[in-house]
Amino acid sequence: MSERAAPLYCPYCGDEDLRPADEDRAWLCGACRRVFSVNFLGIRLPEGAK
């Protein structure tokens, strides 16, 4: 299992009270009680860049 980076704030309310949720790779916001996950898709270079 790889280490995961923790989000710094909730994307919905902006609060910083975040804890790992029961679901895989999910986070629970203590302020708004939303459960969310963050997914990194990759890096895309602009067209024509070398």
Burial class (CB in 10 A: 0-12, 13-18, 19+), 7: middle
What is the pTM for the complete model shown? 0.72
Per-residue model confidence as pLDDT tens digits over 3-48: 667 899 999 999 999 999 988 889 999 999 999 998 888 899 988 7
In this predicted structure, what is the pLDDT of residue 28? 97
Is 35:13 a contact under the CB 8 Å cutoff? no
In this predicted structure, what is the pLDDT of residue 26? 94
- The dihedrals phi and psi of 43, each to the nearest 5 degrees, come to -120, 130
Helix/strand/coil for 19: strand
